Chain A
Amino acid sequence: MIPAALAIARVKFVLELRRREVIFAMLLFIAATIVIVHFALSGDTGAGSRAAAGMLWAAVVFTAVLGLLRTFAAEQEEGALDALLLAPIDRAAIWIGAALAQFGFLVVVEVVAVPVWWVLFFQAGGPSIGTVVVALLLANIGIALVGTLAAALALGARTRDVLLPVLVLPLVIPIVLAGVTATYGAFGEEVGGLRPLGFLALYDLVFVALAWGTSEHLLGD
């Protein structure tokens, strides 16, 4: 189960290293989103503001959806998904592998984007970066999980690319709520303390369980 998932995730990383299809697009996209949200809030996201903190979450979620559009693309080109479905592996390994890859892509994007965001908006008096990093990591797990689930469900749909954001975004609203709360809390204000982080971990657990229970029905006919 774990070795199979890792093998599948590894293939996806190798392909990304060779083709550079997803991560660059995600980086440009997150930069453009941050700029657009900044101008859309016309100055309310100035140095040190809470709006600037919240904006990161909007940008992360939309960027994740962009990456998710290519989740099973490599498996669809030559029908490799059939081979994975017939392999003597737990079928959960297929989406766990895909989710691991999505998680990795998100982390790479954030490693670049979060420091830049920090420098642009918080030369001084920003939220505590440790909390933001933990919240982002937990959120990445959840986003990658439910995103991969939705991408699996949308396989074979006529309007897959249009459909996927519509399926994913309502599912990740709780992540955004908790993530933003955690980030505000990291400004030193008393907003719930560790509870938002605990919630993000709970979210991940609930959807792992649900996805596990339905994984036999997720990808097949």
Chain B
Amino acid sequence: MEPPVVTLTECSKRFGDRLALRKATLTIAAGETIVLLGPNGAGKSTLLRLVAGLLRPTAGSAQIAGVDATSAPRSLRAGIAYAGHRSQLYRGLTARENLELHARLQGQRDLDITALLNHVGLGDRADEYIDGFSRGMLQRLALARATAHQPALLLLDEPASGLDADGRLLLDATLRAGLGTRTQLVASHDDGLPARLGARAVHLNAGSLA
């Protein structure tokens, strides 16, 4: 799939009485990588979840390839990957089983799970329940899950949290590999990341884009 354009138009999201995102307007060109910077509670996660179509805007719109993100058809969803604060995995399954489930739902019969687990450095823990995994290991597995199906749009929410030095290198390499070939939006606290990737930085503060 071609990398899609992402457009937020005057997009606001309210939770009860709290305005989490305020009239955000942002265009991510096809194949562009954007790093979303901002303090805790600035609305980064909300913005990512709106783009992923997991939240419905209170006002305005969030579109992927010209379609409202919440009503993205299956063919479009197949090209979207989102990794959030939580690993989105099943705790009672092993690392391998989690990826097997993902591959099955994505319709990827030929996914080499062993190679993927080796790639993220979890090869020797493949058949352990993820119950006992550390934050960083979960983060690595979540990254493996998110990139397993070669998404055209990759949304990562603070993917570096809990990662060790090796893990960060792996993350940077993954993002670098996607430069130009897929649309990427990464929420991060790492001010150096845009420069390292050569990507555009966008600042979010108290629900407003700078």
Contact = CB atoms under 8 A, between A and B. Distances in A.
Q: Is A in direct contact with B (CB under 8 Å) within the complex?
A: yes
Contact of B90 (A78, A82, A89): A78
A194 interface: no
A79 interface: yes
Contacts of B77: 86-88
A221 interface: yes
Contacts of B75: 88
Interface stretch (A14-22, A114-122, A171-179): A14-22
A131 B101 CA distance: 38
Contacts of B102: 83, 87
Contacts of B54: 82, 85-86, 220-221
B87 A88 contact: no
Nearest to B13: A221
A48 B159 CA distance: 64
A205 interface: no
Interface stretch (A3-11, A140-148, A180-188, A195-203): A3-11
B18 interface: no
A78 B92 contact: no
Interface in B85-138: 85-93, 97, 101-102, 104-107, 138
Interface residues of A, number: 26
Interface residues of B, number: 33
Interface in A71-100: 74-75, 77-80, 82-90
Contacts of A90: 74
A82 B91 contact: no
B179 interface: no
B78 A88 contact: yes
A160 B122 CA distance: 36
Contact of A82 (B71, B74, B84, B138): B84
Interface in A137-174: none
Interface of A: 3-4, 7, 11, 14-15, 18-19, 74-75, 77-80, 82-90, 216, 220-221
Given A78-B87, A83-B102, A88-B106, 9 more contacts: A3-B104, A14-B92, A18-B92, A80-B89, A83-B89, A86-B82, A88-B75, A221-B54, A221-B56
